[in-house]
Structure 1
Amino acid sequence: MSPRTVSSTISTSLATKSPADLDVDTLVLASVPDGEAARLADGHDLPNKVVKALNAALAAVNATGKPASQVALPAPSGVKARRVVVTGLGDTPVAEGGDVLRRAAGVATRGATGSVAVAIPHADVAGLAAVVEGALMGAYAYPGIRGAKATDGSTGDRKNKRSSETPAGSTKVTSLSVVTSTGKSAAVAVRRAEVLADAVSWARDLVNTPPNRLTPQAFVEAVQEQVKAAGVKIAVTVLDENELREQGFGGITGVGQGSANPPRIVRLSWTPKSSSAAPVAFVGKGITFDSGGLNIKPGSSMATMKSDMAGAAAVAAATIAAAVLDVRVPVTTYLGLAENMPGGNAQRPGDVVTMRDGTTVEILDTDAEGRMVLGDCLCLASQEGAERIVDVATLTGACVVALGTRVTGVMGNDEAFTQEVLGAAQTAGEQMWPLPLPEDLRASLDSPFADLAHKGDRWGGALTAGLFLERFAATPGDRTPITWAHLDIAGPSYNEGAPWGHVPKGGTGAAVPTLLTLLENHAH
């Protein structure tokens, strides 16, 4: 899969003149509720006659001004744009509504084409950044894998034609101009928003890629290509199936042994030229397809299992973004990549495997494979001296039952660090919620046949999964706990429903904004 970015296809710039004077295909404005109707939000800098015409048009189409609502209108006289899209902000004050701004911009650009100017009022540079992020993320579209006939209209022999893979971050928006009066610091905010949008888009691309095209080895190559394309000095090392077996990674080896596509662990290392911050480790679950193994999933549950590598996509994307922005925090990232298949050599319920740190684990359900892959990667991160670890995984359906499809569950062994993660999520505009690691549930992981059972009782499944992972975030030998947080993104990582705000159908890039923000906060 070729590396690609949104910013390579969308030219982003800032504008300071009146939106009415911008010669673009689409002008995006904002509205707020006005009684039972809607009106243009203050701060638009439009001529009075244009405002009157647009407010009348909003009334005619029964616009509400509610958050993330939108209406498309013909451009009135006095506006150079060919059409106007008015997106709703609701009643949240602009100065407090970063996430509202992000979603409003995203819903407006989602169906846009050609040149777009966004004139959504914002109070400061943070608001500007939210508008740019939302606009770029909303403009994202995955092109799919199209055959020659679909792309060039030919009717020739399809057997002799290779499919066409449009560059990633595909979008019909060609340029984005954002109206602002925030001053010189705006350029820095826009640059950061572009890098973040690129990272989110690349993570979405990985999640959306069909599983026959994103095997563990193909994932490795995609990461190597993206690092090279980004032009950053990230060291990339790969452990193949033979090295994993020889070095005692029984968790990931067991998961991958039923597949014709063997597992990999990828290690990314970003070392800034100067930093006084403690190093951070990221760990990502990268199951490129999850059939459930011998405990095979129902067919309907497999439809989205190409997305079971969203955690690895998120941590890889955030690491590359941090390097592009020269975030002054050393980061080492571990991607546990495997395909969970029911082949003739597949892992069985009742098997006992030995993890990287020597812990023996009894396998109870081969469809609870992610924790085994993460456990080995956590062991490696701990052995290599990580001081703070964040793992990200599409880990449990139980977390989706608890928190729904838009909220990430956060667990950890250090309250202060957990709050740092939650604070970063709030700043980044991602919904996350703390979950406990109850001491009384630990006994459900006891096994009469091994040091540990890899799955607990049915109840509290997200929590027992967290308790399992916690064991491996510890120093070798004396097992002193290492500061660690676990993000279960099973719900928000893949959107099966209709697009909303700046979030498309399919891969969402969940956790990338939070991880980047966490690193930036840690650098200060």
Structure 2
Amino acid sequence: MEFSCKTGAANAMKTACLVVGVFKSNKLPAGTEALDTALGGQIKKVLKKQDFSGDVGQTQLLYEPNDCAAARLLLVGLGEQKDFKPRQMGLAILPAFQLLENSGATDCIVVLPNDEGDDDTYRLVRETVAAANAAQYRFEQCKSTKTPAKRPLKRGTLIVAGRKQLASATRAVAHASAIATGTKLAKDLANLPGNICTPTYLAEEAQKLGRRSSKLKVSVLTEKQMERLGMGSLLSVSRGSRQPAKLIVFEYQGGKADAKPIALVGKGLTFDAGGISIKPAANMDEMKYDMCGGASVFGAIAACVEMELPINVVGVVPSSENLPDGDANKPGDIVTSMSGQTIEILNTDAEGRLILCDALTYTERFKPAAVIDIATLTGACIVALGDQASGLLANDDKLAGELLECGTASGDRAWQLPLWDEYQRQLDSNFADMQNIGGKGAGTITAACFLSRFTKAFKWAHLDIAGTAWLSGANKGATGRPVPLLTEFLLKRAKVSM
């Protein structure tokens, strides 16, 4: 869906549907108030009927509004005026776009609910465009019969309060559209089944992405190359699978040649049965989502390419399957990582950290300004934070603070957990430098403690997205998180005006 921004009298603009916000208690935003005056008070007359309360996400469709060039007028509830923030715009308008997608309307105009005196335009536009793309997302690649919308929305126009806001709004459309591209890519990769989305498939998709831009170089390391590098920890995980492991490396050169890159390292387990420490059968199909960390790296890189961000970014995705086999890791096995540190494997289902540790060591060669790893790493994170926030742990408080701020700004939130030295003792092993699990307590923290032993050479943060990367139940599917958070971080590091 394409978006543009303009100013002017909304009632005079021809469109299939004009979308306007309404607060609770019949209070109208500035843009809606001006429109209602032009319509002879029609909106307020409807509100007096009290069929429409203005609750967040509530919609009411009116046909052939008076003195208006629009064929339809769609009222959208914004909630209480005193509580309204830009983040609420996305939550409020998503149901409106879902309704329009099935209404036969091919274009719409949205009047932003702010006036010339505030600076919320950029965020309001970001939220609106993100909601439109979320409403249109479908995953039907594996269905024999597709059911696309008969007449989907193709164009959207955003009405801003004044000409001074046009530049900010147009910039927001570009950013939001790029983030939507990256989010869709991450969702598509994650939603594919494990028999299609193998490590080799991921590598091929990375190479396709590399052909989109001369600024992006993609390389793929084979198992033989990884063996020569000493990646014994990563390769121990893939031994139980017929699918060869791949180490996918993106190098996006958008900044100065000598500028240190931001490195994103994403766990790419295309299917995780747990290995010899096999998982319960119930819901094991969802372990195709164990590569969502890697998928988010793909998405963030795709967004960089689309925006041509003036920054250098490295993406590293270690990809493998974790299956039970005669050659698979056994509890008690000891492997040697690329760093030279030895690891006693007490639970073969704690494999994500085994592939990430070698990928983190490999990332040192790029001399990164900061490294963020992203992984569906621990069920303990779901217990702690549910599906609302990703877990965040870091060896640098400033980096952690940046990510927390970017999570709040983008609506893709994270919550910081401690990484105190006292937790490290839970990884003590009698037979190796460390063991790969830390016992029952603080599972998310001890998993990060494990990774921290391979990150001493750089500033590092870890995002545990086990609870946020996908939804279960009737709405089962990948969320595309944390592509918005990562892209927000890259935008700020690139010092792009927002």
TM-score of the alignment, normalized to the shorter chain, above 0.5: yes
- Flag structure 2 segments of 5+ consecutive residues without an equivalent: none
Verify the 8 A CA contact 1:232 1:324 in the aligned structure 2. no
Tell me which of 78, 86, 89 is aligned to 1:89: 78
User: Equivalent of 2:193, from 199, 202, 210?
Assistant: 210
Alignment of 1:264-279 (within 5 A): 264-274=246-256, 278-279=260-261
Structure 2 CA distance for aligned equivalents of residues 467 and 286 of structure 1: 20
- 1:490 and 2:466 correspond: yes
**2:493 matched to which residue of 1?**
522
Aligned to 1:31: 22
Match of 2:340 among 355, 358, 374: 358
1:461 is matched with 443
Residue 406 (structure 1) aligned with residue 397 (structure 2): no
Quick one: distance in 2 between partners of 1:115 and 1:368?
49
C-alpha contact (below 8 Å) 1:139/1:173 kept by paired residues: no
SS of 1:266 mapped into structure 2: strand
> Match of 1:224, as an amino acid?
Q
Classify the secondary structure of the residue corresponding to 1:270: strand
Greater displacement, 201-210 / 84-93: 84-93
Q: Distance in 2 between matches of 1:442 and 1:200?
A: 35
Give 1:517 shift: 1.8
2:101 is the alignment partner of 1:137 = no
Change (3 A) 1:248 1:184: same
Letter in 2 for 1:509: G
Q: 1:170 to 1:341 in 2, by over 3 A?
A: farther
Aligned positions of 1:364-443 closer than 5 A: 364-443=346-425
In the TM superposition, residue 89 of structure 1 has moved relative to its aligned partner by 1.9
Cα distance between partner residues in 2 of 1:277 and 1:428: 26
- The answer to whether 1:224 aligns with 2:207 is yes
- Structure 1 residue 333, shift from structure 2 partner: 1.1
Change (3 A) 1:360 1:171: farther
Asked if 1:173 is matched to 2:153, the reply is: yes
Uncovered stretches (5+) of structure 1, i.e. residues with no partner:
1-9, 153-165, 476-481, 500-504
Say whether the 8 Å CA contact 1:195–1:324 is kept in structure 2. yes
Equivalent residue for 1:16?
7
1:49-448 aligned within 5 A: 50=39, 52-58=41-47, 60=49, 62-92=51-81, 97-113=85-101, 114-122=106-114, 123-124=118-119, 125-148=121-144, 150-151=145-146, 172-180=152-160, 181=162, 182-229=165-212, 231-274=213-256, 278-448=260-430
For residues 254 and 361 of structure 1, what CA distance do their matches in structure 2 show?
11
Give, in whole Å, the separation in 1 of the partners of 2:12 and 2:453.
61
Query: SS where residue 42 of structure 2 aligns?
Result: helix
The answer as to 2:494 corresponding to 1:512 is: no
| Alpha-carbon distance change, 24 to 239 in structure 1, aligned in 2, over 3 angstroms | same
Residue 341 of structure 1 deviates from its aligned partner by 1.4
State the SS of the aligned residue for 1:448.
coil
Q: Distance in 2 between matches of 1:237 and 1:73?
A: 54
Range with bigger deviation, 359-368 or 78-87: 78-87
TM-score (norm 2): 0.90
Query: 3-state SS of the aligned residue for 1:199?
Result: helix
Distance, in Å, in 2 between the alignment partners of 1:437 and 1:235 is 34
Distance 1:246 1:188, change over 3 A: same
Contact 1:73–1:83 (CA under 8 A) maintained in structure 2: yes
In the alignment, is the contact (CA less than 8 A) between 1:265 and 1:337 conserved in 2? yes
**Equivalences, count:** 483
Q: CA RMSD in A?
A: 2.6
Query: Aligned letter for 1:412?
Result: A
Gap change, CA 1:18 and 1:306, over 3 Å in 2: farther
The CA deviation at 1:520 is 2.2
Residue 56 of structure 1: how far off its partner (Å): 4.0
Deviates more, 1:302-311 or 1:183-192: 183-192
| TM-score scaled by length of structure 1 | 0.85
Q: Deviations over 1:47-95 (max 9, x none)?
A: 437474334444546333233343444453334444333322222559x
The answer (yes or no) to whether the contact 2:27–2:81 under 8 Å persists in 1 is no
Q: Verify the 8 A CA contact 2:274 2:348 in the aligned structure 1.
A: yes
Q: Evaluate the alpha carbon distance shift between residue 371 and residue 71 of structure 1 in structure 2; reply closer, same or farther with a 3 A threshold.
A: farther
Q: Look up the match of 1:158.
A: none
